[in-house]
Structure 1
């Protein structure tokens, strides 16, 4: 028997959606989770893809996500969309508000989506990428429970506090950047810990604050901000955007994403910019410049992900059999 299962995008989404429904999600919330999870796998970001879905399924069963929550959407100003996720998923609030956000960006040149009281969002680049698919430039920031320490602190004070950026290129291509304020995403360390693997030096400290290469010890301790004070400054900027402006929990106050029955209540900040407001040549100029950089040996992030998504849409995905069986088993007992 093959160790993998070949599934179309629709088939993979159906498996994920069914599991979320059985764990207590509404149709809308289950669909939003399934689409985001499969999209991450389709672009090669498996750490926050289908393998990461079990974190959401456990949270649904144990009360950290209210699967029936209906986000409250307000538009206090024409270019501001403010969402209270009400302890639900981050994805559903964005799904319900995205059309309003896109319309506002096209009308006013710039618009902001600000969400509070949500579970963590997984792949942050997913939200920026969706706006680039609409022809918009996007900047996204999110926070979560504290997982990362910085120089001068004796404990974790921030989440990995990532930033994502996307800009459209002609023909559906895009520049897409998604990176944490730590050397890597926490999901990758958590996955390595589950496999008993080592991690590189400089990624984390153990519970005593000593450097460690054990993923299991890193999970008990904290990740480290990349670049010392510079990474810490970026984490603080993200915290102010994602928690300060949105009204979400600061990372210091956010409950765990893996224990208890309370939502972490985290924030998601997404800014959308209409490039045509500055002239009609943006995407062509960016394409030319990206080509010049590539010719000089510079890696322009995002373009391989677009190709991977297209290939996955046409050819489907190969998913580990044990993972499919694990997802299908959720909620059946």
Structure 2
């Protein structure tokens, strides 16, 4: 993409754009900063499918009435190590921020804690949640269903969501070890970006409405995404449906899509976050054993392999000076919304 096809914005300008768009379209003031922070994280880390592009769906979801713009999250302490946060129909970001200090406190007190977020609208990556926990020295896991866009292995009809899984491990010096990936072959946002750009998608990402492999993004979006790794990704996707759906009293991806009722808004349902404190398992030896893990990471990178999220962290150090390059057509669309 040439320089004339893009607009370069500073992170501060991205923040201003997000605030303007979200405020104009009625998002409550308490939600604007946490939702914006998630979108900025996508642009800052050069993950375009989770950056300002997501503002389009935020606005559409607000207009469709499928999110409560001024929802007030409510925390329910289930036990010493369990809590639930009722997002009350709002975006997930404020609910997570509301529950985060309680989750950290419980994990540090008991060694392991879990937080279920219920009745939330989730439109973003999971790494912001994971990094909020690794930044406090905790090992973290998170997952969430979405809409039923993905066919199970061997099937032809959408049943699962893209159902991302994320994990984080704090490292004593430097960036944490973090991975965050959809259990589908690719995030749906990547296919939508290909559709907007008029580009074909690789075989193996989707099937069309008749169950045939396709490289046409439009046909793939009208059909079904595929899981990564065949039956293995399919099993993981089913796990996410269960532990971030019925286990926490919330929707499966099929139920989320039924709730959407054709509005094409962001998914509605639950999210499960688990935090583990190494000190809870290891006591005074925690630092020693966490340091031992560094030999594993050295063994990976020492043979030329890449740790997940390295590209994101490199981009994170680059974009504060270089800025964020946004397709001009997308920027003009967002500027009109602002």
1:329 aligns with 2:336: yes
Alpha-carbon distance between aligned partners in 2 of 1:275 and 1:138, rounded to the nearest angstrom: 11
1:260 aligns with 2:267: no
What is the match of residue 219 of structure 1?
221
Alpha-carbon distance between aligned partners in 1 of 2:264 and 2:165, rounded to the nearest angstrom: 28
With normalisation by structure 2, the TM-score equals 0.91
2:133 is aligned, of 119, 131, 134, to 131
Q: Structure 1, unaligned stretches of length 5 or more?
A: none
1:194 is aligned, of 182, 193, 196, to 196
What is the match of residue 309 of structure 1?
316
Q: Which SS does the other structure have where 2:198 is aligned?
A: coil
1:111 is aligned, of 92, 95, 113, to 113
Q: Structure 2, unaligned stretches of length 5 or more?
A: none
Moved more, 304-313 or 293-302: 304-313
What is the match of residue 95 of structure 2?
93
Following TM superposition, by how much is the alpha carbon of 1:296 offset from its aligned partner in structure 2, in angstroms?
Answer: 1.7
What is the match of residue 240 of structure 2?
238
1:50 is aligned, of 42, 47, 52, to 52
CA offsets, 1:43-89, max 9 Å, x none? 12111111122111111122122111112221111221201212210
1:272 aligns with 2:275: yes
Alpha-carbon distance between aligned partners in 2 of 1:121 and 1:264, rounded to the nearest angstrom: 7
Judge conservation of contact 2:60–2:265 (CA < 8 Å) in 1.
Answer: no
1:281 aligns with 2:288: yes
What is the total number of aligned residue pairs between the two structures? Answer: 331
Per the alignment, do residues 95 and 258 of structure 1 end up closer, same or farther by CA in structure 2, a change over 3 Å counting? farther
Per the alignment, do residues 204 and 126 of structure 1 end up closer, same or farther by CA in structure 2, a change over 3 Å counting? same
With normalisation by structure 1, the TM-score equals 0.92
- Residues 143-182 of structure 1: pairs in structure 2 closer than 5 A: 143-182=145-184
CA offsets, 1:287-330, max 9 Å, x none? 23211211122221123322322333455433344433322322
Judge conservation of contact 1:150–1:232 (CA < 8 Å) in 2.
Answer: yes
Judge conservation of contact 1:162–1:178 (CA < 8 Å) in 2.
Answer: yes
Alpha-carbon distance between aligned partners in 2 of 1:201 and 1:212, rounded to the nearest angstrom: 6
Judge conservation of contact 1:74–1:82 (CA < 8 Å) in 2.
Answer: yes
Alpha-carbon distance between aligned partners in 2 of 1:68 and 1:261, rounded to the nearest angstrom: 21
